[in-house]
A and B are shown apart, each in its own frame.
Chain A
């Protein structure tokens, strides 16, 4: 698990709009957080769902601060953002 220690999973869900991925990616880049993998889908007709794995090794920000910055980046859009240490998914979905 050591190498996963600084990995985070970002989830963005809500109403689809132009430029969501770009805005989130820019906010992460500005804070030295490196995207490792990204998945994006439109569920049904207009529900946007993105999950993204990133490395925050070079960022000194706490998770609540990262969450706040991501929320700021898409503040006028109807979207929910969550940021979690990736270990929680490791624990819940891998035996």
Chain B
């Protein structure tokens, strides 16, 4: 036969037992032709474009998933940042457009849309300010529209005023969604060095350099990587471990490339790129933390976690880059706390702390992700945590992000429940040492030096 029994059974087993799946098929849609100074007209044009481009997304995705027997978990849409599309410095205009996007997404069966986005790494426009002013209400009153704000970049430095503003937006958003443990904040990502072709929510937006419309695929498969390492056993040295990760990443990536190309073909749009991220879900076995455990750490957060994660992240990229010529997006291992069973457990027993997570984000994508902190954390402390994460991205010329939930009325040891893929998380301790004066200075931290790096 063209394929051996072992090859076929390996693939079937990866899907059935190791939960190999295509995490997301995201349709990027350019909105540059929808701009209109009349908010109602702008909202209508955006709605119509989403419906026209996206109406067949669910159907075609299901068709390709059935043909190849590869589960596709999420269908999503990423839009041109609407701060570039709505030319009106009025929060009400952004509210109107957000409602239209939310309704259009519901009509075509998409659970999340990315693109309520502003880029203020060097400063804000009056339009950015209006978008941000409307943000807490947009996140509280719409279900599907996800927000992201770029606060820093290696070339611009860190907008500290922006960090402070956004920490207040996060607290406001959490307060407005207090009934659901502040879930509004799960739809808000703050970035350093954001990428324009990320298919993963909540931080996806469709950048200025992208085509009219294209398919962006996010593959996953932490379970398949873990299984490969289990087969190696505890005696294999780390070179062999890296090799096994590369081989698995290669196969996962190929599956993603096939699905991406076929769906793009079916929809008549271009295949944009493939994001090689290992994205966990709360499901048993679908965990990045468990890969670290299989490597030999008792729990994620143990000394050695940063080293193990660096190797994992790097090996995934090396295997994936050989498998596809269309790699983009974030491409790395994700370590969201609430979405990963092993990370939840480690946080629960105190094996992992925010400080250790911060260190780990310097070697993987994407940042402090889905972490619940006490609701009474001050805006100043939150801004300082954001600034620290932005600094890691800035100095290392990589993407970093913050998606933290200051859970209203909750304290260390309490649990927050978001449900579904967003999972649940114990509220983690935040340092009580003040950074108030530093944060209140405001201004911009200049761009870091790119040479003499030691």
Contacts and interface: CB of A to CB of B under 8 A. Distances in A.
Interface stretch (A26-34, A69-77, A81-89): A81-89
Interface residues of A, number: 27
B9 A13 contact: yes
Given A13-B12, A89-B8, A84 B251 contact: no
Interface of A: 9, 11, 13, 36-39, 41, 49, 51, 53, 62-64, 80, 82-93
A84 B2 CA distance: 14
Interface in B64-111: 66-70
Interface of B: 1-5, 7-12, 15-16, 66-70, 251, 254-255, 257-258
B254 A91 contact: yes
A89 B14 CA distance: 12
Contacts, number: 75
Contact of B3 (A41, A62, A89): A89
B1 A53 contact: yes
Given A9-B8, A11-B9, A51-B9, A86 B66 contact: no
DSSP class of A's interface residues: helix, strand, loop or mixed?
strand
A84 B5 contact: no
Contacts of A86: 2-3
B70 A49 contact: no
B69 A83 contact: yes
A88 B70 contact: yes
Given A9-B8, A11-B9, A80-B16, A64 B2 contact: no
Given A39-B1, A82-B69, A87-B68, A49 B9 contact: yes
Contacts of B8: 9, 11, 51, 89
Given A86-B2, A93-B7, A64 B66 contact: yes
Contacts of A90: 2-3
Contacts of B7: 89, 92-93
A91 B5 CA distance: 16
Contacts of B12: 11, 13, 82
28 contacts: A9-B8, A13-B9, A13-B12, A36-B1, A41-B5, A49-B9, A51-B3, A51-B9, A53-B1, A53-B2, A62-B66, A63-B67, A80-B16, A82-B12, A82-B69, A83-B69, A87-B68, A88-B70, A89-B3, A91-B254, A91-B255, A91-B257, A92-B7, A92-B251, A92-B254, A92-B255, A93-B3, A93-B251
User: Which 7 interchain pairs have the tightest Cβ spacing?
Assistant: A84-B69, A37-B1, A91-B254, A51-B8, A88-B68, A91-B258, A93-B7
A88 B69 contact: yes
Q: Most B CB atoms within 10 A — which of A85, A86, A87, A91?
A: A91
A90 B255 CA distance: 10
B2 A88 contact: no
A53 B254 CA distance: 20
A70 B255 CA distance: 25
Contacts of A9: 3, 8
Contacts of A83: 69
Contacts of A80: 16
A49 B5 CA distance: 9
Contacts of B10: 93
A4 to B, nearest CB: 8
A51 B1 contact: yes
A24 to B, nearest CB: 15
A67 to B, nearest CB: 8
A50 to B, nearest CB: 9
Contacts of B1: 36-39, 51, 53
A19 to B, nearest CB: 20
A36 B3 CA distance: 12
A92 B20 CA distance: 12
B318 to A, nearest CB: 15
B385 to A, nearest CB: 41
A9 B68 CA distance: 10
B9 A63 contact: no
A80 B9 CA distance: 12
Nearest to B63: A62
Given A11-B12, A63-B67, A92-B251, A87 B5 contact: no
Q: Most B CB atoms within 10 A — which of A11, A38, A87, A90?
A: A11
Contacts of A39: 1, 4-5
Contact of A92 (B4, B9, B11, B16): B11
Given A92-B251, A92-B255, A85 B5 contact: no
